[in-house]
Structure 1
Amino acid sequence: MDRTERFYKIELLLRSRGCVGFDALLDELDISPATLKRDLQYLRDRLSAPIVYDRFENGYRFEHADTHALPGARHELPGVWFSEKEIHALLTMHQLMAGLDDDGVLSRHLQPMVDKLQGMLGADESEARELMRRVKMIATARRRTPSRHFELLGSALVQRKRIWLRYFKRTDRSTSEREVSPQRLVNYRNTWYLDAWCHASEGLRRFALDAVQEARPLDTRARHVAVKDLEAELDAGYGIYSGAGSTLKWATLVFQADAAQWVANEEWHPQQKARWLDDGRYELQVPYSDPTELTMDILRHGDSVVVTGDKALATAIAARLAKAAARYA
């Protein structure tokens, strides 16, 4: 544990316990008495920490500890301060991010910060492993992304540079070469996507990173697209199938009471509209342009949902159900 970590640890102990004895501080920090005395003196003299020795409690505490909860009364070390709860929350978030990170790209870059946070808590390696095991992320149907592509695309996105892609398009099983200007990285249902301006088609497109066969950076400056324009073009439709440039439609779904209790607590789209019907059913309206993903989510609920008011979508759902039933005949 370096000196900065010790300073944070001392403040954390005093703030959480109120008053801490000299021997208890030595045990927590695993340092010599001389080093602890120097640390306490440095905190007082150089960092203006209001640490005092309480003769009655035989320990160190913050002066006027009862006022620390008031605005402006709490002492903080220079730089970013984290409370113990905040450190636990950050470590939890790191574990969640690791669940989205097959090749450890994000974890590798964030590991120095994680080590620092663990040092502030005074947690040893075994304690840290135990903490991480208390957070579990279950990801199904994950499509893996090569780390070399993720790092390259992330770097180009930050540096605002164009990239060249060789991309496999699953719909017609074709391969194409494209020059694109990265705009945004998106993680959706355990899969990474790149939102980019495609200079071949002169429009915004969304690329699945696992379908990128080859990528290399270009020196050319990327074309800038405002975030509001990006959201209006790619986020208006349903799910990941934005249907860029397509007309937006609204689907009305009526769920039976057995499914309604679950669906009522779900967000299918940020702009969705919903209401309870008098007979206990639940009506959900969502915008869409490309019906691909919406169809899959509707079929997931089987006979517990009916599409109303959209003849084309209802006909497509009925055809899929009939085809599926015929396979089990």
Structure 2
Amino acid sequence: MEQLDRALKLHQLLLDYRRPISQCLILERLECSSSTFKRLLDLLRDRYQAPIIWDRAARGYRYDTADGRFTLPGVWLTESEAFALLMANSLLQEVQPGLQQQGMAQLLVRIGELLGPQWQSQAERLRVESIGRQYVAPELFLPLVQALFTRHQLNFVYRATSHEAKVRQVSPQRLCWYRDNWYLLAWCHGRKALRLFALSRIAEPATLDEAACEREVSELDALFANGYGIFAGSALKRAELRFSPSAAPWVKDVQWHRDQIQTLKEDGYIHLSFPYADQRELVRDLLRFCGEVEVLSPSDLRQSVIAVMQAGLKRHEAETSVAQPMSQ
């Protein structure tokens, strides 16, 4: 693998230089000896029919082609590129199981040949744990991706959180991976607005012949640029939060929002401020720090957090009172 890696670097050197390159410069760039360089030349010339010649007039090596360029047959990767692709595949396999068998199996075989028999054990050193992921079947995922890139409209049955299933006709715009789950950002022709659809709630996707309508990139970016989390909105409020010192290790190095303002007080408390458009996701996140965070403002966010905490306490108190006679 090391020899092939250097051979590919030599190939790239010959492409990058507009004039013949001297052997001294090649040895310096490849950090190899003259004998190793000769072996690399033989490898490229014999196995890949690379037309590398010594130009006596220019006293350097070059490709013997009209434009001085040459394309190696097949797909060739350096060792670092191959390992990077292996890592990307491991991540993709965890993010969306099933795609490996359908799209990358043959490519992974080729990478295995490049890296040698030990590559599989090395790849297994990368461990990705996706907690809370909602399952999306590969046979559903791929049609959505194909419609997205071929720019066709889609029909599908969508079951929202209200559990009411409705048929939607959309023009897909973007596929989003957010907090271990897939979402489709699309223009909904029924609502005549951009909507976000959880892939786990989509069923019976069908690609239509109609071309997808295109939305401005600025419009797509603006949907998530200002507010907090996955819920979009244009009417922004600003959350003012105070975290206790015990929560500091889990708060101070976290980016809650791109426009957040964080202040570490002398007493160890952290003051955090950022904009949000919809409080649903924010309230759930704040409950993770239940006894360690205080919502200073706005008042409606503060009251929502208090109401959810009180409801939780009532539920636990009810369960406790029921359980007491059983323990006596």
Q: TM-score range by the shorter chain?
A: 0.7 to 0.9
Structure 2 residue corresponding to 1:42, chosen from 39, 43, 46:
46
Kindly report which structure 2 residues correspond to 1:163-182, keeping only aligned pairs within 5 A, or say none: 163-170=154-161, 172-182=162-172
The question of 1:135 aligning with 2:149 is answered no
| Of 92, 104, 115, the match for 1:97 | 92
Give the equivalent residue in structure 2 for 1:211.
Answer: 201
Aligned to 1:71: none
Q: CA deviation at 1:294?
A: 0.6
TM alignment of 1:270-281, pairs within 5 A: 270-281=258-269
The 3 A distance-change label for structure 1 pair 207 and 86 is same
Equivalent of 2:137 in 138, 146, 158:
146
Instruction: Quote how far apart the aligned CAs of 1:218 are.
Output: 0.4
Alpha-carbon distance between aligned partners in 2 of 1:37 and 1:236, rounded to the nearest angstrom: 55
The partner residue of 2:288 within 300, 305, 310 is 300
Paired residues of 1:12 and 1:84 also in contact (CA < 8 A)? no
Shift of 1:84: 2.1
Q: Aligned partners of 1:115 and 1:76: how far apart in 2?
A: 25
Of residues 87, 95, 104, the one that matches 2:82 is 87
Asked whether the 8 Å contact 1:7–1:43 carries over to 2, the reply is no
1:321 aligns with 309
Q: Is the 8 A contact 1:291 1:313 kept in 2?
A: yes
Where do residues 253-264 of structure 1 align in structure 2 (5 Å cutoff)? Answer: 253-264=241-252
Deviations 1:203-261 (A, max 9, x none): 0000001101211000101110122211102443221222x4x5121111211112112
**4+ aligned runs moved over 6 Å, structure 1:** 12-17
Tell me how far 1:49 sits from its aligned partner.
8.4
Residue 289 of structure 1 is matched in structure 2 by 277
Tell which deviates more after alignment, 248-257 or 278-287: 278-287
1:113 aligns with 2:107: yes
C-alpha distance in 1, partners of 2:197/2:205?
12
Q: Residues 137-163 of structure 1, C-alpha deviation per residue, up to 9 Å, x if partnerless? A: 111111001212211110111011100
Question: Per-residue displacement from partner, 1:164-192 (whole Å, max 9, x unpaired)?
Answer: 1111011x221111110000001111111
Q: Of 210, 230, 233, which residue of structure 2 is paired with 1:240?
A: 230
Q: Which residue identity does 1:149 align to in structure 2?
A: L
Residue 306 of structure 2 aligns with an amino acid whose one-letter code is A
Counterpart selection for 1:192 from 182, 192, 196: 182
Listed one character per residue, the Cα deviations across residues 113-135 of structure 1 (whole Å, up to 9, x for unaligned) are 333333332x12xx232122101
CA RMSD of the aligned region, Å?
3.3
Q: Secondary structure at the match of 1:118?
A: helix
The 8 Å contact of residues 47 and 77 in structure 1, kept in 2 or not, is answered as no
Structure 2 unmatched runs, 5+? 11-28, 55-59, 61-68, 318-328
Secondary structure in 2 matching 1:207 = strand
Q: 1:221 aligns with which of 205, 211, 217?
A: 211
Instruction: Give the Å deviation of 1:274.
Output: 1.7
Q: TM-score, normalised by structure 1?
A: 0.76
Q: Quick one: structure 1 residues 283 and 113, their matched pair in 2 at CA, closer, same or farther if it must change by over 3 Å? A: farther
Deviations 1:54-100 (A, max 9, x none): xxxxxxxxxx9xxxxxxxxxx99758764323322221121111110
Given that 2:171 and 2:212 are in contact with CA atoms closer than 8 Å, whether structure 1 keeps it comes out as yes
Relative distance call for 1:261 and 1:20 in structure 2 (3 A) is farther
256-265 or 307-316, which deviates more: 256-265
- The answer to whether the Cα contact below 8 Å between 1:239 and 1:294 also exists between their aligned partners in 2 is yes
Cα pair 2:50 2:72 within 8 Å, conserved = no
Residue type matched to 2:252 in 1? A
Asked if 1:266 corresponds to 2:260, the answer is no
Q: TM-score, normalised by structure 2?
A: 0.76
Single out whichever of 5-14 and 147-156 deviates more from structure 2: 5-14
Q: 8 Å contact 1:9–1:120 — kept in the other structure?
A: no
Secondary structure of the residue aligned to 2:157 is strand
